[in-house]
Amino acid sequence: MGTGVSDPASQAVEGERTAARRAALGETVGTPVGGGATALARSRPTRHPVLHFVREVLIIGVTALLISFLIKTFLVQAFWIPSGSMESTLVYGDRVLVSKIQAGPMAVDRGDIIVFEDPGGWLPQAPPSDRGPVMEVLHDVAKFVGVAPEGESNHLIKRVIGVGGDHVVCCDDNLRITVNGAPLDETYLYAGDEASLENFDIVVPPDHYWMMGDHRSFSRDSRAHDDGSGTAGSVPADNVVGQAFALVWPLDRFHAFTNPGDVFGEVPDQESPSDD
């Protein structure tokens, strides 16, 4: 009987058939024993290092922009000061950080410095920008994600003098504003300014704020927009963006804002009118 040994020509034909079957099955031909991992690695497409780097940068950049947008929308936003109405507490060009959390210790109270949207007619029409179309788009994107501070928009920054229900009067015999009968010794006023050159006697509506700038002779605030009742000049709580808590630029003026409790500490809460 034969031993089953075939001639070289038959072996060659059989080898070609085996190779064809393996190729059809997606197997690697001619791989040495133990070289399967190497062959598999060679069969995979090679990542281009530059494309991989660009992809990673894009992922990091988009993530950073998303985080910045979320922070600006729900936590903290930057604003720059476009006028001198809050001098000398804030001057033109200052950058401040504003907390959008209006609860607990960050709830709006008398004496706080807050940013709010124009209730209507407080700001003049903004002049057209001269940045050019490309820079204007980039600036708008930067403001949208919170990288660039707000300023050239419909926002204002003033100090809260009265909250809903407060009876605010100017002025007593010593030329001081009174809130619910308590006189205010306003230590933050611009040097040389009086508490107000305009007399008023108003009650702040519920969920509203009576706002005044620290530079009283240079601030068009609640006084300038009221009709004598306190309703027209007060700012609705819904318009409040948040409370300024830090001046961050320029660096030589960096400091945190604190509520002037020494000014408003003796102000009593306005009593609700009797139902009798």
Token pair for residue 61? 């950049």
Q: Is 85 a catalytic residue?
A: yes
Instruction: Give the whole-angstrom CA distance, residue 235 versus residue 11.
Output: 96
Bridge partner list, 243: 99, 114
- The answer to whether 157 and 90 have CB atoms below 8 angstroms apart is yes
- The answer to whether 92 and 233 have CB atoms below 8 angstroms apart is no
Strands 76-80 and 95-99: antiparallel
Task: From 73, 123, 63, select the one nearest 99 (Cα to Cα).
Answer: 73
Annotated catalytic residue, options 72, 83, 85, 196: 85
Q: Is 143 a catalytic residue?
A: no
Q: Element (H or E) spanning 157, and its range?
A: strand 155-163
Instruction: Give the whole-angstrom CA distance, residue 146 versus residue 193.
Output: 35
Q: Is 218 exposed, middle or buried (0-12, 13-18, 19+ CB in 10 A)?
A: middle
Task: From 238, 6, 271, 214, select the one nearest 120 (Cα to Cα).
Answer: 238
Annotated catalytic residue, options 143, 158, 219, 222: 158
Catalytically active residues are: 85, 158
